[in-house]
Structure 1
Amino acid sequence: MARYFEDTDVGDVYELDGRYDVTKAEVKEFAENYDPQPFHLDEAAAEDSIFGSLAASGWHTASMCMRLLVDDFLEPETSMGARGVDELRWIQPVYPGDTLRVEVEILDKRISESRPEMGHIRTKLTGYNQHDDAVIEWKAKGMHRRREADE
């Protein structure tokens, strides 16, 4: 069922069902392509780093959480993109073998003044590992289709 602008209220928290299993191969592949720092690529170098072992890039962590958000929260018929992300924080490293999940909180919302078919929803996404430790957080400015504008 599509989630329109009107279907959310400030203060709502959505615990998404999806899970993302982090693999060593994917950590290394992402790092090779986008963040080739030694602690993301080389296990020996990672052991001598502050991480103590191979760790996922923060950008990779954000991408994995974005995948969960798209799969379980953003609907193709109602999501209209985003105007940006604020306050991105990498709270704790993510390692191969971790399993990620996501929660989304509605912080505020308003109807677009220039596009009545659209509403702006500011959310806080928090990503957690399998121990329920927060690993990432950001606030986003999403654009969502309004049901009432269609009626």
Structure 2
Amino acid sequence: MRFANFRAGQQITAGPYLVGEEEILAFARQYDPQWFHTDAAAAAQGPFEGLIASGWHTCAIAMRLAVEGALRGSESYASPGISGIRWPHPVRPGDALSLVATVLEVRRSRSGLGVLRWQWQLFNQRGTEVLDLESTSLFRLPVQDANPGRCASS
């Protein structure tokens, strides 16, 4: 999607993305090697009663779905960050995750960048929320006004 296509209140969906056990293990071994992410036998005896994906893996899946559903082919080039990240329920092997991204704000900064603030929520195949975060994306946009006496609104 192009920046001009985003509107406050808009919902964008993407997915599902099927999460496999080997993917969970590989990601966790590389980036979050805690036992409940890397050892299925030990995890079965733990508080989650089975292997779960790293929250960071869950965020990476959300990023992929955001690109597939909205950012691919756009002017998006960076993000200053996320806020309010929560993992209300674990992701398990075999889960099919879908993204619901709700546009909260669309504006042009004084410097001419497009600024998109949106909420990303991931849900599994049962409709259970597994991720909730707010992200800001920046977009490089063409100059709207060549008149140096005017300043774009922020």
The two structures have a TM-score, normalised by structure 1, of 0.89
Q: Which runs of 4+ in 1 moved over 6 A?
A: none
- Tell me what 1:62 maps to: 59
**Aligned pair 1:38/2:32, yes or no?**
no
- Tell me what 1:28 maps to: 25
Counterpart residue identity of residue 130, structure 2: V
**1:1-151 matched pairs, under 5 angstroms:** 3-16=1-14, 18-114=15-111, 116=112, 118-146=113-141, 149=144
Counterpart residue identity of residue 124, structure 1: Q
Q: How far apart are the structure 2 equivalents of 1:150 and 1:48?
A: 63
Counterpart residue identity of residue 135, structure 2: A
Q: SS of 1:66's equivalent?
A: helix
Q: How far apart are the structure 1 equivalents of 2:8 and 2:108?
A: 13
Q: SS of 1:136's equivalent?
A: strand
- Tell me what 2:151 maps to: none
Counterpart residue identity of residue 82, structure 1: S
Unaligned runs of 5+ in 2: 147-154
Q: How far apart are the structure 1 equivalents of 2:98 and 2:142?
A: 29
The two structures have a TM-score, normalised by structure 2, of 0.87
Q: How far apart are the structure 1 equivalents of 2:117 and 2:77?
A: 13
Structure 1, 43-52 or 122-131: larger mean CA deviation: 43-52
Q: State the identity %.
A: 36
Q: In the comparison of the two structures, how many residue pairs are matched?
A: 146
Unaligned runs of 5+ in 1: none
Deviation of residue 92 (structure 1)? 0.4
Q: How far apart are the structure 2 equivalents of 1:50 and 1:110?
A: 44
